[in-house]
């Protein structure tokens, strides 16, 4: 689900896509829109639009294709239920927590800590102990787990 917000101009807002844009994008602009070390642009593709992304120093890559056809929340019910309950969904296979940072992202997935940062979005990954996991969950995400 992507939202269109109209405040004089139309803006594209998609907080749930993960590692993508953080601030809304001008929906009707076909110009490059810079956010930190990344650039975004929206290109026309027939009846669809494609969100493109480029990290500093790299080529444009498509992120997703969408239309401006309106939907209701009920239209997403089946897919949402699948993501929440299916054993094939990555959301049910592991613990996952992810947060955008000033220059990248920090993610806990399973017992792995993944950080991306800097202009080239350099990726670091390491396996954590349960104690490290809980400390990072608290320090990076402000979450305290109390298991009885």
Residue 82 belongs to a domain: no
- pLDDT for 100: 85
* Whether pLDDT at 95 is above 70: yes
CA atoms within 13 A on the CB side of 6: 0
Q: Are residues 64 and 109 in the same domain?
A: no
Q: Are residues 7 and 66 in the same domain?
A: yes
Number of structural domains the chain divides into: 2
Q: Write the pLDDT tens digit of every residue in 24-33.
A: 999 999 999 9
Residue 22 belongs to a domain: yes
* Cα distance between residue 138 and residue 97, in whole Å: 11
More confident residue, 118 or 99: 99
Residue 135 belongs to a domain: yes
* Cα distance between residue 14 and residue 24, in whole Å: 8
pTM: 0.73
Residue 17 belongs to a domain: yes
Mean pLDDT computed over 128-145: 93
Give the rounded percent of residues in the chain with a pLDDT score beyond 70: 96
What is the band of 17 on the pLDDT scale with cuts at 50, 70, 90?
low
**Element at 8 (helix H, strand E):** none
Closest CA to 64 of 73, 53, 55: 53
By residue range, what is the domain housing residue 123? 93-141
Q: Are residues 21 and 55 in the same domain?
A: yes
Mean pLDDT computed over 24-50: 94
Q: Are residues 18 and 66 in the same domain?
A: yes
* Cα distance between residue 92 and residue 110, in whole Å: 11
């Amino acid at each position: 689900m992507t939202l269109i917000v109209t405040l004089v101009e139309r803006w594209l807002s998609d907080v749930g896509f993960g590692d993508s844009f953080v601030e809304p994008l001008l929906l009707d602009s076909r110009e490059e829109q810079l956010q930190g070390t990344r650039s975004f642009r929206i290109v026309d593709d027939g009846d669809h639009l494609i969100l493109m992304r480029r990290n500093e120093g790299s080529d444009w890559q498509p992120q997703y294709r969408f239309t401006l056809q309106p939907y209701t929340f009920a239209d997403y019910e089946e897919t949402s239920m699948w993501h929440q309950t299916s054993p094939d969904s990555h959301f049910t296979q592991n613990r996952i927590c992810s947060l955008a940072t000033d220059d990248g992202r920090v993610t806990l997935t399973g017992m792995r800590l993944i950080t991306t940062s800097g202009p080239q979005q350099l990726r670091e990954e390491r396996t954590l102990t349960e104690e490290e996991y809980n400390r990072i969950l608290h320090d990076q995400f402000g979450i305290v787990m109390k298991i009885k």
